């Protein structure tokens, strides 16, 4: 089964993707990972992407789509999860063409739903070690000693983009940009598009995902 996994910042889709990779032997395809690998390997698309990133610009759809097409074309029967792609309707249309060319399909499109107040709590409570980047949370995973990293002794701090007013703006922007994409996949019907309750523990959310994948919901 091949999946697209959506969700707002803080919904936990990265955790769910990792669980699917570990337990279902799926391959996670993240555009961020594709950018880093292409840049590291100095591919033609990687060089193009690096030029935009170094200039502080968004990588255009044409480059992102090209990287995804290369990755999907190289897969030989491995089940995959698209995480962070597509990001807009134009990319969704391009993905449909790529799937047709490569003879692949998307079986389920999951959107992980979490109320905004919970998202704010998850993200605003996040803290990061300034030295080694270990991630903490003031409620669910605080460092043993306040503001001191357990791993390296570095300073644990709140990033500027994890402050509540910034997070609220990010979430509003995400909702605006994602709404057309949700409608695009909803139009495919309930057999394809499924909204998953993202509240509770990561194990509870994973159980909901896998029940749908197994046709038990």
Asked if residue 132 is part of any domain, the answer here is no
Mean pLDDT of 73-89: 91
Query: Of residues 108, 122, 126, 208, which has the active-site annotation?
Result: 126
104 is an active site residue: no
Residue 82 has pLDDT above 70, yes or no: yes
Nearest to 141 by CA among 191, 201, 96: 201
170 is an active site residue: yes
Residue 170 has pLDDT above 90, yes or no: no
Asked if residue 144 is part of any domain, the answer here is no
Cα–Cα distance measured from residue 30 to residue 51, given in angstroms and rounded to the nearest whole number: 20
Nearest to 33 by CA among 68, 6, 4, 57: 68
Q: Is the dihedral of CA 85, 88, 92, 94 positive or negative?
A: negative
Domains identified in the chain, total number: 1
pLDDT at 115: 92
Residue 112 · residue 35 · CB < 8 Å: no
Cα–Cα distance measured from residue 152 to residue 26, given in angstroms and rounded to the nearest whole number: 33
208 is an active site residue: no
Mean pLDDT of 37-49: 93
> For residue 62, how far is the Cα from the chain centroid?
20
Query: Of residues 168, 170, 182, 186, which has the active-site annotation?
Result: 170
87 is an active site residue: yes
pLDDT at 72: 94
pLDDT at 181: 92
Query: Of residues 27, 50, 79, 87, which has the active-site annotation?
Result: 87
Mean pLDDT of 46-75: 91
**CATH of residue 88:** 3.40.50.300
Domain carrying residue 190: 3-115+165-213
pLDDT at 176: 86
Mean pLDDT of 39-61: 90
The encoded tokens of residue 68 equal 């995804």
Q: Which residues contact 17 (CB under 8 A, 6 or more apart)?
A: 5, 28, 30, 81, 83
Residue 11 · residue 110 · CB < 8 Å: no
Alpha helices in 41-196 (DSSP H): 44-54, 61-74, 89-102, 116-124, 164-186
Asked if residue 149 is part of any domain, the answer here is no
Q: How far apart are the first and last CA of the chain?
A: 16
pLDDT at 28: 93
Residue 23 has pLDDT above 90, yes or no: yes
Asked if residue 32 is part of any domain, the answer here is yes
Residue 47: cis peptide before it, omega within 30 degrees of 0? no
Query: Of residues 13, 108, 122, 127, which has the active-site annotation?
Result: 13
Asked if residue 155 is part of any domain, the answer here is no
pLDDT at 217: 62
Residue 160 has pLDDT above 80, yes or no: yes
Asked if residue 9 is part of any domain, the answer here is yes
Query: Of residues 40, 159, 179, 211, which has the active-site annotation?
Result: 159
Asked if residue 49 is part of any domain, the answer here is yes
Asked if residue 190 is part of any domain, the answer here is yes
The H or E element that residue 210 is part of is helix 202-213
Grade residue 180 by pLDDT with cuts at 50, 70 and 90.
Answer: very high
Query: What are the pLDDT digits (tens) for 105-149?
Result: 999 999 999 998 899 988 899 999 999 989 899 988 999 999 999
């Amino acid at each position: 089964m091949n999946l697209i996994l959506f969700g707002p910042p803080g919904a936990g889709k990265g955790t769910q993707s990792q669980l699917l990779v570990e337990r279902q032997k799926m391959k996670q395809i993240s555009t961020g990972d594709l950018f880093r690998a292409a840049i590291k390997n100095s591919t033609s698309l990687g060089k193009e992407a690096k030029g935009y990133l170094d200039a502080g610009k968004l990588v255009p759809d044409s480059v992102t789509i090209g990287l995804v097409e290369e990755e999907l074309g190289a897969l030989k029967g491995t089940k995959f999860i698209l995480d962070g792609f597509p990001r807009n309707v134009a990319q969704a249309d391009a993905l449909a063409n790529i799937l047709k060319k490569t003879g692949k399909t998307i079986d389920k499109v999951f959107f992980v739903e979490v109320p905004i107040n919970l998202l704010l709590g998850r993200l605003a409570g996040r803290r990061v070690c300034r030295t080694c980047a270990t991630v903490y949370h003031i409620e669910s995973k605080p460092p043993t000693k306040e503001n001191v990293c357990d791993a390296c002794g570095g300073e644990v701090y709140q990033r500027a983009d994890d402050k509540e007013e910034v997070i609220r703006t990010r979430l509003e922007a995400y909702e605006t940009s994602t709404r057309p994409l949700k409608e695009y996949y909803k139009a495919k019907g309930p057999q394809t598009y499924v909204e998953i309750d993202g509240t509770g523990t990561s194990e509870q959310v994973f159980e909901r995902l896998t029940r749908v994948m197994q046709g038990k919901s």
